[in-house]
Structure 1
Amino acid sequence: MLVPGEPVVPRPVAVLPPPPPPPVVVPATWLMQEGGEVIAVRLMRDVLAMPAPSAGRWSLVPYGSRRGWQLLGRQDADGQWPAGWLTVPDGDGVDQAGSIVAFRALLELGWDRESPGMAAARRWLFRLLAADDDPTLMAELRPALDDEELVVRGRHQLREAAAAALAQAGFESDPRLRGAARRLLQRVDDFLRSPLAAKPWVRVGNQHLLAADAEPPSFHFLQMLAFMPQFRSEHFESMERLYAYVSQPWPRQAAVQQIGSRQLEQPQLVLGDLMATRGDLDAAMPSALTWLETMARMGFLQRHEGWGRLLDRLLADRDRRDVWVPRRSVVMPTNVPDWAWPSMILTDRERPAGASIDVTFRLALIARLAGRTLEIR
């Protein structure tokens, strides 16, 4: 009963949480039939989380990949691939794949890290982590780049890429990788704590460049963290700063940095949210899927409403069989960044059928990593 003159205190209104997203249908039967051996193994292991059959021959199934043997056939006896470290092949082939790119591609194809070719390549990756000063190790940088600062930056970039590859191979507990990860995180975290994180640009002449001492995270750095869940939990405060950084809008300026006496493009650097709109997603599907998978592995996609909507839109693009079908606006470029290329060669089928298989599988994997309920068909 209201008393005249008594203040009326509004009752709190209960806000119901949003309903959970609908289950994601996984066309497992279709993927098994159309995708080949690699898709079948990855589907059972990474999406359905089914234990591997006890039969010993099951571990040999991934080695049925034609692309895998093509990659292995181009490996030199010392464990390196002759095309350098981060070279990406043109088109659908695997020719001219660099050592780190090829190693990660074989991991994506399900090859065991202890297999002979992988073990030989792994030794070089651990040398990269150790900040080896042997000039012959990075001889590919020397002919054109005489500036010592450029060589140092190049080695740092390769160190991040090697760390990402070793983390993906399951070496999170190795002290060599953990030590390198701490050093890499310290560089990035110092940048995120500094005023440069909010304003990393300096004016040089009539253009804006990244400051020489700016150390934004790279795509390889994010992928390294994505495969090191224990390490992330040990540095949760840094992860929160990183989440805030990758959620901010991507600037309009091109990533060009003054390094020594030169101005160089830095396409490997992350300057914000790579996939802010549907247009960003459609313009480069392999990069978009790799970005969403990385964010899901880091636990960021589950917290980011925009990335969740992009995943829902991709799932909505599937046909009645729940198979992804590209829209007219979707671009599947022939030139893919080195950090994204290994994820799009799981099937031996040529495009466009191969792209539908790869993307359908990748969407199911991202949905599982994001904690979505799966409905298997």
Structure 2
Amino acid sequence: MAQAHRRQGANLELPTQHRIPITWLLANAGDSIRYRTLDELCPPGSVDPSRLALTHSAVTISKAALAVVKKQKESGVWGGNLLGLAPAPAQGIRDAGTIPQYRRLLQLAWPRGTRPFKLADRLLFRLLSRDDDPALLFEFQKLVKLEPAAEPWARDVMREAASAALAEAGYAEDPRLRGAGHKIANSVSQFLRSPLAEKPFIKHGKQVALHVDAHPPSWYSVAMLAMMPNLRRERAGFTERLGHYLAQPAPKKSFVVVVGKKTVKPQHLLLGDPIEADAKGCPKDIPIALHYIELLARLGALQWAPVATKVLGWLLRDCDESGIWRPKNLRSTPRATNKISYHYFPLQADAKTVEGREADVTFRLAVIAKLLGWELEYR
């Protein structure tokens, strides 16, 4: 089927049809993927509401979701920090932070409107409001104490991250988020229109540094835009320029951001396609590849991205006739080397079977196929 109809994109061919193995996913995936399969992948109107509600309730007692919920404090904060992706003792980060955990709960399909989200939403909207409470600097407090000039940069990063989380939570039309979204888009648009888009680096002593006037896109700003379709339509020209920029290969050189007299190694910036793959399209990091491909699909930009397109084609070639991702000798769930995908992958906790290890990628490929507007068949 995948070979029957193909579309040209980024000088590479992709299928225009995909089979979604609904029955297989419901039989072999964990609670979150089962619910999201019924809610997001099944044809509209084909799922009995009582079945959908029952499947959703199972998420609230699932091991993966409860592991996140139990770590939240009454303040709405996770891990005592905002952006931490994993424990980092040198930075005083004990565990994944508030925004990664919040976004993970969203990916796990924890019910919106419940206490964990209500607690965190108040905090995230405070970040959007430019509240200058020193406590809201979280893990950046030490940096700002040593270098006060770092405060605007730190608050901008946190504001972008909060905007991404709130957009993913369904607040795309909230005036507070729309206002923040336009400001973020303005900064990125100015960067894309400037010579800095092609030459963003300068020498800083013995280090390579991002130019102080450069405001490139980030994982957070791109995720925000991906979940704000009306904002994208209002700024169609900017969205297209961004898509072309994100399709080019990211520079491989390591660089720092200069904040006052200090330098910081950024983990959130996107200066192009971050996917690393061999000539056949095999990615070094499957979770980050899927995450980025899904973002490009939501932005309508995958067609311009040769590496992402090749990787998607490589992943699809390992799908069987039913649409199940079945690579040879899969001994464990694909592991991430870039922790930025922490919230996104895997949704299937502690997979004990081969089928369980196949479930996350199978589900993500189905989501991507639907986002790309391919013709879908259901199994």
| TM-score past 0.5 threshold | yes
The SS at the match of 2:325 is: coil
Q: Report the Cα distance in structure 1 between the residues aligned to 2:117 and 2:170, rounded to whole angstroms.
A: 13
Distance in 1 separating the partners of 2:321 and 2:222? 35
Q: Does 1:252 align with 2:252?
A: yes
Distance 2:206 2:55 in 1: 61
Cα 1:301/1:152, change in 2 over 3 Å: same
Matched with 1:60 is 57
Hey, what does 2:90 align to over in structure 1?
A: none
Match status 1:240 vs 2:272: no
Structure 1 CA distance for aligned equivalents of residues 326 and 86 of structure 2 = 25
Matches within 5 A, 1:13-92: 21=15, 23-51=17-45, 53-55=48-50, 57-89=54-86
Provide the residue aligned with 1:208 in structure 2: 208
Q: SS state of the match for residue 251, structure 1?
A: coil
The Cα shift of 1:149 comes to 2.5
Equivalent of residue 358 in structure 2, options 334, 337, 356? 356
**Offset from partner CA, 1:48-100 (integer Å, 9 cap, x none):** 2434533254542332321111211111112211341122247xxxx923111
Given the superposition, is the C-alpha separation of residues 242 and 77 from structure 1 closer, same or farther in structure 2, using an over 3 Å criterion?
same
Kept after mapping to 2: 8 A contact 1:103/1:121: yes
Tell me the SS of whatever aligns to 1:25: strand
CA distance in 1, matches of 2:129, 2:348: 35
Cα separation, partners in 2 of 1:351 and 1:256, compared to 1, 3 Å: farther
1:1-377 alignment runs, 5 A limit: 21=15, 23-51=17-45, 53-55=48-50, 57-89=54-86, 96-145=95-144, 146-275=146-275, 277-278=277-278, 282-319=283-320, 322-326=323-327, 332-333=334-335, 336-338=338-340, 340-350=341-351, 353=354, 354-377=356-379
Aligned counterparts of 2:361 and 2:137: Cα–Cα separation in 1: 35
- RMSD value over aligned CA atoms? 2.6
Secondary structure of the structure 2 residue equivalent to 1:374: strand
Long gaps (5+) in structure 2: 1-6, 88-93
Q: In the alignment, is the contact (CA less than 8 A) between 1:105 and 1:345 conserved in 2?
A: no
Using the alignment, how far apart are the partners of 2:335 and 2:54 within structure 1?
36
Range 353-362 or range 124-133, more displaced? 353-362
Identity of aligned residues (%): 35
Shift of 1:254: 1.5
Further displaced range: 297-306 or 70-79 = 297-306
**How big is the shift at 1:35?**
0.4
In 2 relative to 1, CA 227–351 (structure 1 residues): closer, same or farther, beyond 3 Å?
farther
User: TM (normalized to structure 2)?
Assistant: 0.85
> In the alignment, which residue of structure 2 is the partner of 1:8?
none
- Contact residue 286 and residue 344 of structure 1 kept, 8 A: yes
Q: In 2 relative to 1, CA 314–152 (structure 1 residues): closer, same or farther, beyond 3 Å?
A: same
Change (3 A) 1:352 1:219: farther
How far off is 1:359 after superposition? 1.1
For 1:179 and 1:20, how far apart are their aligned partners in 2?
A: 37
SS state at 1:117 partner: helix
Map Cα deviations across residues 200-220 of structure 1 (whole Å, 9 max, x no partner). 111234443211221111011
Give the aligned residue type for 1:365: V
Matched to 1:337, the amino acid is K
What CA distance in whole angstroms lies between the structure 2 residues aligned with 1:20 and 1:346? Answer: 26
Larger radius of gyration: 1
Residues 254/191 of structure 1: CA separation in 2 closer, same or farther (3 Å cut): same
1:152 shift after superposition: 2.3
Partners of 2:217 and 2:269 within 8 A in 1: yes
* Structure 2: distance between partners of 1:291 and 1:273: 8
SS in 2 for 1:208: strand
- State the shift of 1:281 in Å: 5.5
Matched AA of 1:369? L
The equivalent residue for 1:11 is none
Match of 1:4 in 2: none
TM-score (norm 1): 0.86
Which range moved further: 221-230 or 301-310? 301-310
The one-letter amino acid paired with 1:53 is D
Aligned residues, how many?
Answer: 356
